[in-house]
Structure 1
Amino acid sequence: MFHEVGQPHGLPYNPFKSCVIPRPIGWITSVDTQGRVNLAPFSFFNALASEPPLVMISINGRHGGGGPSKDTLANCRETGEFVVNMATYALRDAVSATSGPLPTGESELDAAGLTAEPSQLVAPPRVAESPIHLECRVHQIIDLPSDNPDSRNTMVIGRVVGVHIRDDALTEDGRVDVEKIQPIARLGYQDYATVDRIWQLTRPKGGGDRTAEGR
């Protein structure tokens, strides 16, 4: 099949979100100017570079109506810091709970029964139950095009300034134990996935992402 974007595709659901998969989930803590903590998950999230380490969150939809994702954007604009907490299979129910609407200023951590843990270099706390955290400072906020006049698309680029990895999330040879911690990824629709098989591929010298060779 083929469909031109903006024209009917003839399917029961828009297939686009299931054509770029799997997408990691950025579980983001931020604070407002009063120090109130917000926590929200984002499935439009990824790493952008390694030197320096950069990550991006894309915040979509109605930006003016409150809710955890919109508070995230406001907090990033106002205070310029956020933390990425790894969303794992063991925490899947809490991740889902923190996507729900709460009045601005009410804590999604408290509502989901999570524990706030102080960060080292930024003001937003970490989710203590998560095995990996990336402390970030906002590098740039970019307004993106939107085909819906009632919605906005905004990308927040953060520079990672600190990395926390829980000791039991590492293998004996010092690698992140992905099979153990089981990060969750979005597949579109209401579908998610975890890593259950890891395999390696030797790449040509001098080609591709240097991180593929572990550097």
Structure 2
Amino acid sequence: MEVITMKLADLVKPEKNVRIHTEQQLKEFRRSVEMFGQIRPIVVDEENVILAGNGLYDTLIAMGKDTADVYRYDNLTENQKKKLMIADNKIFSLGIENLETLNSFLEDLHGDLDIPGFDEEILKQMVSEAEDVTKKLSEYGTLDEEEIRNIRENAKKKEQQTQRMEPGQGEGQAEQETDAADHQELESDNEDSTEIRKFVVCPNCGEKIWL
């Protein structure tokens, strides 16, 4: 089967079409034709009734075109024609975008983001945000000494709290082990304080009971 050139006036729109074409879609169809030309043929049967490509046909008519590239089937049954119309509209919608590749392509375009099917300003924002994320990821891991020390101290405190709550630990043992750690924490937090309040830690809930 080969692509032939036919007059648009000779093509016939079907009485029923599986796909409803919105104004936005037809607008993007037009942008695509203006930028790249007709990149896919219109498919018709032996009576030139359109089986696939109604949106493209409407676009070419609106643009004042006279001809179109066409695939023509001469031996399909009525059932096969309906199946073709259903399949052509459904199969494409089953695919999903590879966002990683899409972002890579957008970055490769270096700001030239006039692409049919997309809003240029939204694409620019997407690329801008992607660059911010990339910058932040590149800086990840360059922590200064103070940040590293804080992370280690927080991890140590969490480990101590976990040890307090271990099952099977006796009340006296829990109080003895946690009192020293919490007393040291209190002294660190209140180095300039002249009075240190005493407390015990409940072995069941881990809360401090001030004396």
TM-score (norm 1): 0.19
Return the structure number with greater strand share: 1
| Bigger radius of gyration among the two | 2
TM-score, normalising length: structure 2: 0.19
**Looking at both structures, which has the greater relative contact order when contacts are Cα pairs under 8 Å and sequence separation is at least 6?**
1
Q: Which has the higher helix share?
A: 2
